[in-house]
């Protein structure tokens, strides 16, 4: 068991002993019954009472005594408590991320974001037309006409020398042979990713994001003094600059590794929170994940496609940590990322679920997805494919095969029901 769970149980047992000493009561079931009654009168919910009693049961087991919750008098007391103090509001169950849904989310994380597509298109367009950030910020989708072999731009008639345009004259951009550096192809991709309403690069409505566009163009040569025009790059240099702009961000690399490891090892939330880099060992055939408190080591085999391979995802994340100087066996496996900066803070419970939810939103998945969805998705997918339950229990660290019954019942509701058998 984890050290945190043991410390909480010892703290609960110490509180019960202090109550016994203060009231001069002997140790036994009657004292525990009085303690539970006091908790009810103090406003504790039934779920909280169950959790406290489970902690006391753990100490009893460690000391070689039967658990308190199995005593007949306490069983009757708990039955009465739950009539007056209910379990409290039950939160909706998180939707499972089955393997096919997980692959959709991971694929979305490997694809460039809408802002990255716009940045690549801005770089290619500036390199082909010498348009400045001011001109790009004023450009609207109504000023762009894309044809099979070329693109015609009609910039607004603004008399601005810095824009690098002649008012009223259209600009013709021919398609390049390489779609990776073709401004027409990249602008079409940005149109699909970001939409085609309002300004092309400057944001939404009438706002101009000139400073943001200038930041995008920093990978190109600096403007010539006096002309505000940039010297064009050759094809190889432009391809390298655009590839750097479209490269996955640190948060994308982290979330991909987090999803694949959390799913493949069926990690619980507290296991992922306290996972260190030394707990993940790379082997020729895959990864060995040793989570604190688990009896068995989780084995993640090398995937068929590199995009969904947990080894490749973990090594890519380690490369990002190495560039930030945050590698080490005792360091956390997953850090918080703010913008493009990897901080030294370990991911919290909220951040773990937020990473999963944002990835699902990026893949346009509808539902309630949290970090628990990864573990539930692994179990449900394994049951759906007919894997032996003891294999699933060993990988997911279930203490009993009966724990899989809930997942199996919910999975069979959709696969083996009367409507499905009738073809409805």
Contact 173, 130 (CB under 8 A): no
As a whole number of angstroms, the distance between CA 60 and CA 17 comes to 13
- Cα separation values, 217 from 125, 138, 150, 223, Å: 11, 16, 23, 10
337-392 tens-digit pLDDT: 998 899 999 999 999 999 999 999 989 898 899 999 999 999 989 888 888 888 88
CA 370/CA 372 separation, integer angstroms: 5
Three-class secondary structure of residue 140 per DSSP: strand
C-alpha distances out from residue 286 to 249, 267, 319, Å: 24, 17, 17
pLDDT tens for 242-289 read 999 999 999 999 999 999 999 999 999 999 999 999 999 999 889 999
Provide the mean pLDDT of the chain: 83
pLDDT band at 83 (very low <50, low <70, confident <90, very high): low
Which residues are CB-neighbours of 213 under 8 A, at least 6 positions away?
A: 122, 133, 136, 137, 201, 202
Q: Residue 133 contacts by C-beta under 8 Å, 6 or more apart in sequence?
A: 210, 213, 214, 216, 217
The DSSP code for 84 is H
DSSP string across 304-358: SSGGG-HHHHHHHHHHHHHHHT---TTSBSSEEEETTEEEEEEP-HHHHHHHHHH
Q: Which among 23, 27, 25, 3 has a CA at the least distance from the CA of 13?
A: 27
State what percent of residues in the chain have pLDDT above 90: 33
The pLDDT value recorded for residue 85 is: 54
């Amino acid at each position: 068991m984890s050290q945190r769970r043991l410390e909480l149980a010892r703290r609960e047992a110490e509180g019960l002993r202090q109550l016994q000493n203060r009231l001069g009561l002997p140790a036994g079931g009657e004292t525990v019954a009085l303690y539970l009654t006091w908790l009810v009168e103090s406003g504790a919910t039934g779920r909280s009472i169950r959790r406290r009693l489970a902690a006391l049961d753990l100490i009893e087991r460690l000391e070689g005594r039967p658990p308190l919750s199995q005593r007949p008098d306490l069983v009757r007391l708990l039955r009465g408590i739950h009539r007056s103090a209910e379990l409290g509001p039950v939160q909706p169950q998180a939707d499972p991320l089955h393997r096919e849904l997980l692959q959709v989310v991971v694929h979305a994380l490997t694809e460039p974001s809408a802002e990255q597509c716009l940045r690549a298109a801005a770089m290619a367009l500036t390199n082909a037309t010498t348009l400045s950030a001011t001109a790009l910020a004023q450009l609207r989708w109504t000023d762009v006409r894309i044809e099979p072999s070329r693109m015609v731009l009609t910039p607004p008639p603004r008399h601005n020398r810095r824009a690098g345009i002649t008012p009223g004259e259209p600009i013709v951009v021919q398609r390049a042979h390489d779609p990776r550096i073709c401004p027409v192809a990249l602008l079409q991709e940005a149109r699909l990713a970001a939409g085609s309403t309002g300004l092309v690069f400057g944001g939404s409505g009438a706002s101009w994001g000139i400073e943001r566009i200038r930041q995008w163009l920093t990978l190109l040569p600096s403007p010539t003094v006096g002309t505000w025009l940039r010297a064009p790059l050759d094809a190889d240099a432009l391809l390298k600059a655009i590839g750097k702009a479209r490269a996955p961000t640190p948060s994308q690399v982290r979330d991909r590794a987090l999803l694949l490891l959390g799913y493949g090892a069926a990690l619980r939330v507290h296991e992922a929170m306290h996972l260190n880099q030394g707990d993940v060992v790379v082997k020729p055939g895959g990864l060995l994940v040793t989570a604190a408190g688990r009896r068995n080591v989780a084995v993640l085999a090398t995937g068929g496609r590199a995009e969904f391979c947990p080894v490749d995802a973990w090594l890519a994340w380690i490369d990002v940590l190495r560039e930030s100087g945050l590698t080490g066996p005792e360091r956390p496996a997953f850090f918080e990322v703010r913008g493009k900066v990897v901080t030294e803070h370990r991911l919290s419970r909220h951040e773990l679920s937020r990473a999963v939810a944002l990835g699902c939103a990026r893949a346009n998945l509808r539902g309630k997805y949290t970090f628990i969805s990864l573990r539930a998705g692994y179990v449900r997918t394994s049951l759906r494919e007919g894997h032996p339950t003891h294999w699933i229990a060993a990988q997911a660290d279930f203490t009993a095969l009966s724990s899989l019954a809930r997942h199996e019942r919910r999975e069979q509701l959709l696969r083996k029901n009367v409507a499905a058998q009738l073809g409805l």
